Structure 1
Amino acid sequence: MSPKLAILQRRMNFQPEQAPVPEGGHGLGVAIEQLIADEVSRRVGEAMQQSPKVQRLLDDFNRPKLVTDFKQLPPVQKTAPAKNMSALIHRDGAGLARWIEVNGVKFEAMRDATGSLLGMRQVDEIPVLPALDIPFKPEAREYNESR
């Protein structure tokens, strides 16, 4: 056996010395413990003789009610159904999303100079979109005026 294994075996076999158990039946500590145990048993006995009805009432109060029919069982709690979510995307004339409304909460699109979407910002009121410049042909106007 190697020396390391021998050391390990000695450590495993080592039993610490147990302190000797004090002899019972005499001494001041044993007398005090005996007095405490006697007093506790006397007080418990007196309390049980004076109020057995109270203990019985407490036992009956804490006893669960017997179930004799499945209709007496409380209903099983179920999880709340998922809320429906609605989202409206408002776009401008160029087709870019300007603001989004999710369940009544309004978010405005934040864009950089190139028009790329950077993020959404919550707003209290929806801004009014500018009027669209609709191109028209002069011939169409002349047609409408001649009628």
Structure 2
Amino acid sequence: MNSKLSLIARQVERREQQQAPAPVETSGIGGAIEAVIERMVEERVAAALAEQRRQLEFNKPKPVTDYRDLPPIPRTRAPKSMECQLYRDELRRVNRISIGTMEFVVQRNEVGQVVRMVPADIAPLPPAAPPADINRGA
């Protein structure tokens, strides 16, 4: 036998010898009181376990044996249709978009490509028109 196995065997034997001896039956009033207390504890534990089992059985879902017993599958609502209107400027380019109750302003770069769409309530104002030259006509 291996030295480690023999060491483990000795430790097991030592633990078995060190275990507490079985309680000695006591007679008299003390023994009777202990027996009554043990019986009461065992009865309460048995009653609590029975109650717990009963609750588990009560809360257990009933097995479904027919597909008609299954609840209907919840369906998502169909998306609400929205109207979209495109507003064009004199060059036929889209400059304002209205979707439902929201309005967006189309912003373009210097080449004329669409860069982004910003909600109309926070969009910056378009550049001001140059002032008219007063001396030009006279």
Structure 2 length normalisation: TM-score?
0.49
- Give the TM-score normalised by structure 1: 0.47
